[in-house]
Structure formats: C-alpha cells, structure tokens
Structure 1
Amino acid sequence: MRVVIAPDKFKGSLTAVEAAEAIGAGVRDAVPDAEVTLCPVADGGEGTLDVLLAAGGKRVDLRVSGPLSEQVDAWYVLLDGAAYIESARACGIEYVTPSPAVALAAHTYGVGELIGHALTGGASRIVLTVGGTASTDGGSGMLRALGAQVLDSSGAHTALGGGALGGVATVELAAVRERLGDTTVRVATDVTNPLLGPNGAAAVFGPQKGAGPREVEQLEAALRAWADALHRAGTIALGDVPSAGAGGGVSGGAMAALGARAESGFHLVVELTGVAQALPGADLVITGEGSLDQQSLAGKAPAGIAAMAGRHGIPVLAVAGRVALSPEELAGAGIAGSRALIDHAPSLEHAQREAARLLREQTAALVRAHRED
C-alpha cells in the first residue's frame, strides 16, 4: 500500500513537517508494511519556510526592523537560486499587541531589509509570502528599505506606518529599480482582496490588527493616497487589482514597484515539495490542517491536494484539528473521509497540546476504517 501524506500546518500546534511525521506514524500503526511518502505542503502563508527547508532549502538568518521598528530575529530560505521570504518573519502580528495605535504605526521596513539582503547575496528570484502581517502600509516600508523616497508635498520624508501615508505626495522608485535589476519577484498569496474599498486591505484586515472604525477610515484614505502616488510615479493603478490588498497591501506594493505577479501560494509551493511526482501509483492520499472549513475550499492546501489526487483517481482522507464541513461538502472537494482531533479530546487546549499523539491515533483509526469500507 502506497500512501502519500501531504498536510499543511496545524496552527498553534504542529508545523506541516511535524504533522506529516505524525500522520505517517499513524499510517504505519494501521498498516505496518505501508510505503509512506511525506510531502508536507503550505499555501504561501505562515509555515511556508518550514516546508521549503524540508524540501532542501538553506536557512539565512539576520536581524531586521520589526513592525514597530524594534529589532527582531528573522530568516529566509534559499533554494535553487531563489530567495523565499515570509513577510511575517519581519512584521508578523505576533510581534505586537493589536491596538488602534499599532494598526496605524506598523510597517514593512524589515521585509525590505530581507529582500535587500537576498539581492546582495545574488538571488536570481524572490518569492514573497505575505500573510500574517501586523501592517497596513501598502508595502511602503518595504520599498523604503530598498531605496524608495516617500515624500510629502513639502518634499520631506513621511514617517513609517500606514497611518502616515495620507500625506504622501511623491514616490521616487529609481533606486529600487536599480537595486532590483533583473531579479524577478513573485507574490505567494491565498487571498484575492484588492487594495482599496469594502473588500480591501484596511476594511477587511485592519480590524484584525487593532484598527477601529476611525482607523480603518484613516488607513483607507492613506492607502488611496499611496496608490495615487505610486501611479503618478509610473506604476500600475493598484486600487482594484486582485490580491493587491494581501498582507496589508505589501502585495500591492510589490506588484507596483517590483513588477511582481501574484500567484496561488499553494501551487507555487507545491511545485517544490514533490507531491506531483509522488502521486502516480499511490493507493491513498492523506491531507489535513488545523481547521478544515469553508476557507479550506478556497485555495487552501487540503482542497488543492484533493484536486491533484482526484486527477489520478486516488482516494483522499483528511485529519484536522476541527472539521466544520459536512460529509457532502467534503465529498464535493474530493475528500472521502475525515477525523477531527477536537472530537477525541476533552478541550481545545488538550487537543492543541497533544496534537501529535492525537493526530497519530486518529490517522490510524481513519485508515483502518477506510480499508474496511
């Protein structure tokens, strides 16, 4: 029996690599002679770098500016000449306590420092993942770290942070373009929100970062001023471009000034994990993530894995921290059966604390039930 194991992370409990190992152990508990192939995956969000390390990448550590300008330890991954940079390593929301003041002040300067370090090291390609940021600055801090001049109407430099962008009049990008040279940039994201409007970065993601109604309004106006200034500098008009609002607009800043294109984070990362090569001839695929819910059906890893397996006619099972989809919804996504860890734990805290053990046990039970059907 050949089994391909391709889970995403279980947020707050296990990395995708750890989850794959626990699921693999569960398969062997149920079928001792099973041939197991571990292919941990990611959707371009938090945890992507861990998956790339498992795929043979090299970790590069450095200290950069955090979301409120404090120094933080960050890192990126080099793999086959490309630098994979996770925005949240520099400006992740975990570095702050969300509040109205933080929502206005947080910035992406450290993301630009990571990119600059990779460029100095000779990276031929940059892949930027943009989820989990504390910032709503449209990538302005990132571009400033790469040499952009962000100026008000008097020619003075504006302050860092999304809240200060309302005063932006001029953006000068010549130094950024010179530094980037021929290096290509790709943005990995699983969201399609535009930069502006009711579905934009400020309205949708600002409240998660501490913004109240007044701050959302201020950030919306600031991002509009930023987009207008970028357009006057010769970039694309960002306002309603799909995915430009991802990561508080850092995606949009990369699109406008770095010539980046947004791509499905799942498809971009899965190219590197060996899943496609492992699937032909497999008898079973097992995927999973922390919460298997409606979002899982819209570009997340489990649905992507199920679609890939379906093209080969391979049955798919899923193990998750919680399952908020009906059997019919799961079947529609190509998932034949599932187990939820929370259904076999006295509390959420217990399920998170004992995730590896529960994942192993429930995988074994799920595989046994599947073989009996």
Structure 2
Amino acid sequence: MELKNEPALNLGPQPTPEMEAIAREVDALARERLALDAELATKQRELYVKTGEADSLQSELDTLTATLKQLENQKGEAQKRLNDLKAQVEKLRSQVSAQEAAAAETEAEVAARRAQANSLREREQALQQEHDAHTQQADQLTAHLRRAVLALSQANIKITHLEEQHRLIENAVEALSAGGTAAAAAAQLQPQFSREHLDKLVRGATPSDALEDDSFSKNEFGAMNGSTGFESDPFKDASFGGVAPNDPFAPAGNAAPIQDGFGSDPFAPSSGSDPFAGDAFAPTDNKNKDNDDAWAADPFAVLHAPVRGAAGGGAASPTPRLPPKQPPPRPAPPRPTPPHKIVSLTKQNTIFNIPSNCS
C-alpha cells in the first residue's frame, strides 16, 4: 500500500517546544514512513521475483514429479522385463543343461556305435577272408570235381569199350561155335589198327610221322565193315593189283566167282552194289557187317547216346548193329514276355502310334 506525501502541518506562527518536538517527531515518522515505503516496494519487488521463482520451481517440481512417476513406471516395466529375462535365463540354463546331458549321452552312444562299427568291420573282414578261403576251396573242389568227372567219363568210355569188345568176342565165340557162314565171317575178322599205328601211339607222335602216314593205311573207318584190301594206294598200279581177291560184302554162300569192282572205270556208274555207296553211320538192317569198334566213333558218344544193346533176334551175327543217329536237338520254345515288358511295349506303341499288330 503506497503512502501519499502530505505537506507538513502549519501550526501557526507560534511554535512551541512541544510543537517543535512533535514536528520533529512527525518528520522522523514521515522519513521512517518513506523508508518503510521504499523498503516495502523493494520487498514487494522481491516478493514478485520470489513468487515467479516459486512458480517456476513449482512447475519444475511438477515436471520432476511427472518425470519421477514416468521413471517409476519405466522402472516397473524394466523390472518386469528383468524378471522375464531372468526366467528366460533360467529356462535357457535348464535347456543348456539338458542339451549337455543329451550331448554327453549322444557322444557315449556315438562312441558305442563307433566301437560296434569297428567290431562289425573286423567281423566283415574276417567273413570276407573266410569267404575268400571258401571260394578258393570251392574252386579247388570244382576243379577236382571236373577232373573226377573227366576221369569218370573216360573210365565209363573205357568200360563201355571193354564191354563192347567183350560182347563182340562173345558173339564171335558163339558164331565160331555155331559154325556155318557166320563162323566163316567171324574167322575173317581183322584188327582195326595196324601194329605200326599201335607202336606209334605207344611211343608218341613224331614230326616224321606226318610224312610217313599213308592216307589209305590210316583210314580209321575202312575196317568198320571188314577188310577192304586198301592197305596201300590201289592207284599206284594200273591193274589195281592191290584189291583183295574176294569181296567181303558178297552174300554168304555165293559160289559164283567174285568180279573185280575196279576192273573198269572205277568212277563210272555201275549196276552192281557199291560197298561204299551208303553211310557207314546210317541205321541199317544189314546183319553181315564185320568188326565194329566203339573207338571208331565219337569217344564221348556215351555221354549223350544210349548204350548199345545186344544183337536182336534172328540169325546170329558176330558184329552188332550201329546205334541209330540221334535227331538234332530241338530248339527251346519261345519264352513268354513278362507282363511289365508288355505294358512298356503297349505304352511305346501308344506314344509312337504303332498298331498293335505290328508290335
């Protein structure tokens, strides 16, 4: 509140000491009042400043209070996140522990599997060695079996040959005992191989044997139907003096003189029977053939041909009949096409538009 400066009271012309004292006191009070007014104005200005500062501090306090509340809220959220992170850390630690345990178990299992694989590999090597040994033993046994089969086949051939020779000898003995034309034919039996040929087989073939061999004396099939008289080349002499005086193929009991089959052109057609016109291995009913030997034919024929039986009934003959020729093997029947191949062929025909009758 401001104080107005009022003029001093004029007490009149007659001042008194009391009045002067009061005046002085009034002046002092006025001056004090002025000082108080000035001080009051200063205080008011200071109050205004302090009020502004208080307002500023109050607003700052409000701001700090709001910031504090926000920080408290953030602290709560951070605490929640921290708790969540702690839970996750604990969970991860438990997972890590479980994985470490599983890893240790897996390592143990891997070590066990590795040891088992090593043992299986060693067992496989041992089995492979055993298999190789068994294979080698099987090869040896197979080779031994082949040798045994070969020896058995050779033994069977020899046995068959010996049985055939034995049968021929028995037939010859029976024919000689019976007498007649059969005995005469049996008496004319001649060996198939010459002594020189047998000696050559015993001592082995030499390079000079190829030059000394005579195609007529080496004929292994010439004695199958008896002696032909061609022990040497009959064409060396123009008169064919090497021909035998009698014909072994003449019928038994023929008293007529034997005509020389080579008296004229040997290659001209003849009305008589040619002893060499037929096939020596063809089936025939001729019962007057001379000696026959199993070695003149295929030595392995016993493996795929039936054993020769005894001579049939009728007139006794010292020589058996040759076995009939076996027919050629029949081709294997065509195999049926598997179903999956038929389906594939049908698909191909469908793709390429091939008719079914052309597939």
Structure 1-normalised TM-score?
Answer: 0.20
| Higher normalized strand content (fraction of residues) | 1
Q: Which has the higher contact order (CA 8 A, sep 6+)?
A: 1
When Rg is computed on C-alpha atoms for both structures, the one with the higher figure is 2
Tell me the TM-score normalized by structure 2: 0.20
Question: Which protein is richer in helix relative to its size?
Answer: 2
